[in-house]
Chains A and B, each alone.
Chain A
């Protein structure tokens, strides 16, 4: 994959793996498009089938006219009975058994040898592969020779026995020089480090674990005080998600930028504290790398199934700010945004990534850091301001935007107040008084409207000639944009709106207003985004047509195209 990228050709990779450590088959899917499409293609042109147990399924998955490569050391003729594909047998095991010693080396090298075969078949530049090998094994130079030998075995065998390259092969381009290949969890971890996060608390859960791994790895490199050798960060592996979120809330109360990465089941456990942070108004940043639910669901498959449980997490009247990154690039930029918004609004902010974004390799524009960035720490009073005040009250709406002023412990005696999840007055005192209670929860609604105005607006592509539109979020963006290109070829024009935050910006309401039909594309069964649109901005539900993809695999453009065409056939305008 990286060698194709270095030939200047856009490429993305997606890993399909089971919730298991060893012994079960996994697939790695590489998609190469001149246009740089990011979503899954749902079409396999070249299959390398290395697992005997999945040969039948693998063969069935190859598109007509495609190619299937298999290890022909042992004959498997009875399985290969498709006439519309080309089957290429390469005796990988035999080649490796003849050239390498030891069981482990023979098995490992088999997996390297097929890279050589694919390189020959697809005309991938061998020099680029050699260079990548040298970089990968820079610290283990002795491995370079054996790996190179394995690649040559596969490469030469293919060249000598098969007509190379195949009619479908790659040609160098110049479309990747300003890009990187990165997964969303790495980008988010990097974003947290750049945002100045100092406390990370977490409980390991697939598919969010690699986010904290990335944060730790970046911190171990960039967050060690040069003078003392001591850390300028704290990562606490909690005993469960209840504790992880408690630690985040405690650290944020004390003025640190703190966060936790988790997934759906973690959100369920964190809900009580999320409600607390909403009512006590404590900045809290959560990354929810969504996986397939309900319950344990399919932990290694993707969905956007926690929209409602996050938007309204916890008992009582609560609602929360959500951000929707669509790819690793946005995971990086939304990390500082999440901290800024949480501290500005003094409330939980959840960044709604998913497994497809978080764990797969995306090609994204090189990340940049704006040196003029100043963190928005929100309305925090310092010692001088407190000294000059007569008296400080925690929950007064001084500015009319619904956001009160806060103080940090240890700064000044006048700043002391009692943080509580029980009923409180605007002065911060305990109350069970009807009017005083209602005063505070009504002010929280004022804050909610302030949030609506300052959160990132949607990405919109609009043409006045189009009467229908598509609304989507997060990782649905890539498939929808590609679908629009494919539909345009058939003279079907749709406008596009990718929502980036909740509560919904006015532009989202306007977009729905402007169209007769709006297809709402999301990756869950129950049309959760559509529900939020109806609930939050009272969108006209008769206009909103759900296109739902929720089988656990990343959404692909073919799904969107065929569903839109079906709806049009049923009489919907487009």
Chain B
């Protein structure tokens, strides 16, 4: 019995993935976000990533909190279960869901308000537990749904549409994740699909907590002159350090890379990430040097992007807890209940 619904034939020439599905099979409902919103580009990149990976739609769990970003799971992969939770609490729901069934692939879509303001507590603790999930932050520096207040990721000096510029230090999710021991950390831009799609693929296939921080401009409230999260500003100060190619298991590494610039890294499922170093000074295996580099370039006003840190060796939550491989939610009572005779026996301690 196949659980994959028949592909809708929309275009006879559309490419198919290993499951015989086209990218249109991974689409969701129509977006209700503003025209030109960066989030819609991220949605498109996610659709392409899961299509290319050949993810079984019903094995994907789409998790989110509250905000413009958190609405987007409705806009991709209709045949996946979605969980639009409460504001800032997506990490805890994903933690529990993952504890119950680690066989699903978890993608959490959050925003800067959801993850860095109201939900910063859950964000940092999810990282500490190294939950096996892809955690996307669609970062635009403002609250869209309540009309343009600054979030915790707004840069000093960034100007709102109305009112005074921000004068508080921003919380940078990338350096926060770095200090907390996240095992896959990337940053990209909603306007750079070529860089973003492989980063998302690597994040989805990584075993452990994978953060993808995506600068995703808000066209309505934060795309004006003086904003540091606008399309124009991001394009101007965008700085690639390490881009990647994601190679599925058992596929030959075909592309040619210049000596010293490419480095293949094998992942847990046998797939490979080939690093393409744009800046040879960047070392993505050292938290200390990565942090120093990020800080220096941040001070210079640059937005460092690419795969910024990778550690394939650390155990994820289930391994840390010593859990059985079968999802806990699928264990029958017979395997969980010691029975009446044992109950009688154990009560001898209570006499």
- Judge whether A6 is part of the interface by a CB distance below 8 angstroms: yes
Q: State A280–B83 Cα separation when bound (angstroms).
A: 10
Query: In the complex, which residues of chain B have a beta carbon less than 8 angstroms from the beta carbon of A417?
Result: 81-82
B93 engages A255 (CB within 8 Å): no
Question: Which of B82, B83, B324, B346 makes the CB contact (< 8 A) with A232?
Answer: B324
Size category, B interface: 35 or more
B86 engages A194 (CB within 8 Å): no
Question: Which of A231, A245, A276, A371 makes the CB contact (< 8 A) with B321?
Answer: A231
B58 engages A409 (CB within 8 Å): yes
- Judge whether B336 is part of the interface by a CB distance below 8 angstroms: yes
- Judge whether A545 is part of the interface by a CB distance below 8 angstroms: no
- Judge whether B265 is part of the interface by a CB distance below 8 angstroms: no
Q: Identify the closest chain B residue to A248 (Cβ).
A: B96
Give the distance to chain A from B259, nearest Cβ to Cβ, in Å.
44
A5 engages B351 (CB within 8 Å): yes
Query: In the complex, which residues of chain A have a beta carbon less than 8 angstroms from the beta carbon of B92?
Result: 201, 238, 242-247, 250
Please encode chain A, from 111 to 153, with 1 for each CB lying within 8 Å of some chain B CB and 0 for all others.
0000000000000000000000000000000000000000000
Please encode chain A, from 188 to 227, with 1 for each CB lying within 8 Å of some chain B CB and 0 for all others.
0010011110110100000000000000001000110100
Contact (A421, B86) CB under 8 Å given A196-B333, A411-B58, A416-B58:
yes
Query: In the complex, which residues of chain B have a beta carbon less than 8 angstroms from the beta carbon of A233?
Result: 328
- Judge whether B252 is part of the interface by a CB distance below 8 angstroms: no
Contact (A240, B121) CB under 8 Å given A251-B329, A273-B86, A409-B58:
yes
Question: Which of A236, A272, A412 makes the CB contact (< 8 A) with B99?
Answer: A236
Q: Which of A54-62, A71-79, A83-91, A362-370 contacts B (4 or more CB under 8 A)?
A: A362-370
- Judge whether B183 is part of the interface by a CB distance below 8 angstroms: no
Q: Identify the closest chain B residue to A249 (Cβ).
A: B93
- Interface residues of chain A: helix, strand, loop or mixed (majority): mixed
B331 engages A198 (CB within 8 Å): yes
User: Among residues 28 to 85 in chain B, which have CB atoms less than 8 Å away from a CB atom of chain A?
Assistant: 56-59, 61, 73-74, 78-85
Question: Which of A231, A273, A408 makes the CB contact (< 8 A) with B89?
Answer: A273
- Judge whether B5 is part of the interface by a CB distance below 8 angstroms: yes
- Judge whether A352 is part of the interface by a CB distance below 8 angstroms: no
- Judge whether B97 is part of the interface by a CB distance below 8 angstroms: yes
Q: State A196–B336 Cα separation when bound (angstroms).
A: 5
Query: In the complex, which residues of chain A have a beta carbon less than 8 angstroms from the beta carbon of B95?
Result: 201, 236, 243, 246-247, 250
Size category, A interface: 35 or more
Contact (A368, B343) CB under 8 Å given A232-B324, A238-B92:
yes
Query: In the complex, which residues of chain B have a beta carbon less than 8 angstroms from the beta carbon of A368?
Result: 340, 343-344
Give the distance to chain B from A549, nearest Cβ to Cβ, in Å.
29
B121 engages A239 (CB within 8 Å): yes
Q: Which of B100-108, B223-231, B234-242, B307-315 contacts A (4 or more CB under 8 A)?
A: B100-108
User: Among residues 293 to 351 in chain B, which have CB atoms less than 8 Å away from a CB atom of chain A?
Assistant: 318, 321-325, 327-331, 333, 335-340, 342-344, 346-347, 350-351
A409 engages B74 (CB within 8 Å): no
Query: In the complex, which residues of chain B have a beta carbon less than 8 angstroms from the beta carbon of A6?
Result: 351
Q: State A80–B69 Cα separation when bound (angstroms).
A: 73
A199 engages B328 (CB within 8 Å): yes
Give the distance to chain B from A407, nearest Cβ to Cβ, in Å.
8
Q: State A331–B333 Cα separation when bound (angstroms).
A: 20
Please encode chain B, from 97 to 128, with 1 for each CB lying within 8 Å of some chain A CB and 0 for all others.
11111011000000000000000011001000
Query: In the complex, which residues of chain B have a beta carbon less than 8 angstroms from the beta carbon of A254?
Result: 96-97, 100-101, 104, 327, 329
A383 engages B340 (CB within 8 Å): no
Name the 6 nearest CB pairs between A and B, nearest first. A246-B92, A250-B96, A247-B96, A256-B100, A250-B93, A255-B329
Other 19 A-B pairs with CB < 8 A, given A234-B323, A238-B125: A6-B351, A180-B350, A181-B350, A182-B347, A182-B350, A199-B100, A225-B335, A242-B89, A244-B92, A246-B92, A249-B96, A253-B96, A368-B340, A371-B340, A374-B333, A409-B104, A416-B79, A418-B81, A420-B82
Chain A positions near chain B (C-beta within 8 angstroms): 2, 5-6, 180-182, 186, 190, 193-196, 198-199, 201, 218, 222-223, 225, 228, 230-236, 238-240, 242-256, 258, 272-273, 276, 366-371, 373-375, 383, 387, 407-422, 430
